[in-house]
Structure 1
Amino acid sequence: MPKMVLTASYLSLNGVDRSSSTSKIELATEVEEKDVTTFASLGWVELLGGLKSGSLSCGFKQDVADSALDDTMWALFGTVVPFEVRLSNAAVSANNPKYTGSVLIKEWKPIGGSVGDVAEVEVEFPTSGAVTRAEA
């Protein structure tokens, strides 16, 4: 069985590669369950998929320098921007598909932590529209 360790994943937000400040990426997608059970279902629940949704969770090493991470993310706050994620920063291929779409930058946590902690930001952005998977 193939195994993989995430060591060089890729994240782009609004067309800018953010991989060098990113320490966590999680893209999650789901579909609503719609119950279509009838008496003809013979006592078994029947389901269909409804609306799809997703979220992109990211962990960043904070950088508040001029034009760095905090500056640009603050400017994007409240907007919908494109994203791209890959398991590896290598070229897109059948062995390294890319997932793309748009996310709403609905939160930004510029400060968080305790004495002695690394300044990190953990955020979750909901997707807006379709998420696609491509191998080229």
Structure 2
Amino acid sequence: MAKRVLKDCYVSIDSNLIHGYCSKLALKIEVDEQEVTTFGSLGWKEVLGGIQSGGLDLDLKQDAAAAALDAIMFPLIGTVVPFEVRISQASVGTSNPKFTGNVLIKEWTPISGGVGDVAEVSVSFPTSGAVTRATS
């Protein structure tokens, strides 16, 4: 089993490369649990998978300069936009699949922190529609 250290993840939101601002990335995929227990289950709970959903969580170093992170993200609030993430910025392949889909930009924090803190923002965007995995 190959082990990896995340050093150069690829992150694109609405065709804007933002991995230069990103210090943490999590793409979550989950499915609703639907209980289907009957008397025939003999006292054991039975479940089936229901509707799938996902979320893209990012920790970003804030930059309010012209054409930088805040200028990219602020106009997207309330819109559904495409995303792409990869384990590495290397070419897409079997050991570096790309995950794509759409996310709702439901939040943005232009300013956050205390005296002496690094200007950072943590965001969580829900996926909208299917998330796909590709190796080519």
- Class of the TM-score when normalised by the shorter of the 2 chains: over 0.9
Q: Secondary structure of 1:122's match?
A: strand
- 1:1-136 paired onto structure 2 within 5 Å: 1-136=1-136
Supply the distance in 2 between the matched residues of 1:117 and 1:134 (Cα, whole angstroms): 38
Which sections of structure 1, spanning at least 5 residues, go unmatched? none
- Contact conserved, 2:16 with 2:72, CA < 8 A, in 1? no
Q: CA deviation at 1:67?
A: 1.8
Q: Secondary structure of 2:103's match?
A: strand
Supply the distance in 1 between the matched residues of 2:104 and 2:49 (Cα, whole angstroms): 23
> Which AA in structure 2 matches 1:109?
T
Supply the distance in 2 between the matched residues of 1:21 and 1:31 (Cα, whole angstroms): 30
Q: Which deviations, in whole Å up to 9, do the C-alpha atoms of 1:13-55 show, x marking residues without a partner?
A: 0011111111111101110000011111111111100011111
Q: Secondary structure of 1:20's match?
A: coil
Supply the distance in 2 between the matched residues of 1:12 and 1:134 (Cα, whole angstroms): 15
| Deviation beyond 2 Å, 4+ runs, structure 1 | none
> Which AA in structure 2 matches 1:58?
L
Q: Percent identity, aligned pairs only?
A: 59
> Which AA in structure 2 matches 1:90?
A
Which sections of structure 2, spanning at least 5 residues, go unmatched? none
- Contact conserved, 2:10 with 2:19, CA < 8 A, in 1? yes
Cα RMSD of the aligned pairs, angstroms, is: 0.8
Query: How high is the TM-score relative to the length of structure 2?
Result: 0.97
Q: CA deviation at 1:2?
A: 2.2
| Count of residue correspondences | 136
Supply the distance in 2 between the matched residues of 1:91 and 1:51 (Cα, whole angstroms): 32
